[in-house]
Amino acid sequence: MSANFIRLGPILLLTLWAAACTSDSEKSPEPASTPMGHTYISTTVEGTPIPGGGPLTLTFANGRISAGAGCNSFSGTVALDDHKLKVSALAGTLMACAGDRAGTDEWLTTLLSSTPGWELDDTALTLRGADSTVHLLDKKVAQPDKPLTGTTWIVTETITPDARTRSRVIDEAKPTLTIAADGAISGSGGCNRLTGNATIAGAEVTFRVASTRMMCAPEVMEVENAVLETLDGKTTATIDADTLTLRNDNGNGLTLHAE
């Protein structure tokens, strides 16, 4: 019995060693870096430049790509296999762009349809197309989120349960909102001065706002009423770079940009 054990021992040890090596070699590799789940903004272009100057913005999410370079927006499905960007079912908006940006859409669709190669180095993405090589940077690095407090936010769009509205009246009335570090509110609804305070708990902001009582043109008062309807009680605040979106439990909301 003793002799048999001595003779089989090395075999058993070799078997265990081989099993351990096999286990190590069969461990799943670390997932490769991918642009999926991120938004990138172009910083430089080699070769054919973006008409109008861009920038090119690319968003990768849930197997899809959204793209824009200063004129229309495009989206479609995307595959990233073999470090090639393969876009299909690409569709876009139909806005007419004049002047320097007239050729933007053609430049963009040419790039995306050329199956460009892609390389990702931490937060830097490079696309190598047939006519252009584009260097992009993760939006969170290129355009960090502005702080909610201490920033002057300007209303650019009103939101209702049925629609989002941008207009010349909003641009001219220029409603503003500033929340101080202690929660004190100042700003304008477009006609009247706003005061009050806000309680911030994560993404939840509860507003208590008062305004002066001056009357302005009906279209301006309509904008101001939309502002006040949003700044009424509990809202959810979302910041993406220099854009703040407020949505109230009553279904109303505002899109604001940092001054």
The pLDDT tens digits of the residues spanning 175-208 come to 999 999 999 999 999 999 999 999 999 999 999 9
Q: Six-digit token pair at 179?
A: 């929340």
Q: Nearest 5 degrees, angle CA 92-CA 94-CA 96? A: 130
If residue 80 lies in a helix (H) or strand (E), which one and from where to where? none
Domain ranges of the chain: 39-142, 152-258
In the chain, DSSP finds a helix count (H) and a strand count (E) of 5, 17
Q: Which CATH code is given to the segment(s) 152-258?
A: 2.40.128.270
Topology adopted by domain 39-142: Lipocalin (2.40.128)
**Is 175 within 8 Å of 155 (Cβ atoms)?**
yes
Query: Given this model, what pLDDT does residue 32 score?
Result: 61
**What is the pLDDT at residue 17?**
37
Strand, helix or coil for residue 145? coil
Q: Do domains 39-142 and 152-258 have the same CATH topology?
A: yes
Give tens-digit pLDDT for 126-168: 999 999 999 999 999 999 999 999 999 999 999 999 899 999 9
For residue 53, report the phi and psi dihedrals to the nearest 5 degrees: 95, -10
CB 106 within 8 A of CB 71: no
Could you write out the DSSP letters of every residue in 50-66? PGGG---EEEEETTEEE
- Per-residue pLDDT of 62-117, as tens digits, reads 999 999 999 999 999 999 999 999 999 999 999 889 898 999 999 999 999 999 99
Confidence of residue 40 (pLDDT cuts 50, 70, 90): very high
The continuous run of DSSP H or E covering 254 comes out as strand 253-258
Structure token digits, residue 44: 């430089």
Contact assessment for residue 189 and residue 224, using Cβ atoms and an 8 Å cutoff: yes
| DSSP annotation string for 212-228 | ------HHHHHHHHHHH
Q: pTM of the predicted model, to two decimals?
A: 0.66
Q: Quote the CA–CA distance of 151 and 105 in Å, as a whole number.
A: 34
Which pair of structure tokens corresponds to residue 6? Answer: 């001595």
Please list, residue by residue across 188-214, b when 16 or more beta carbons sit within 10 angstroms of its beta carbon and e when fewer do.
bbbbbebebebeeeeeebebebebeee
d(CA 56, CA 129): 14
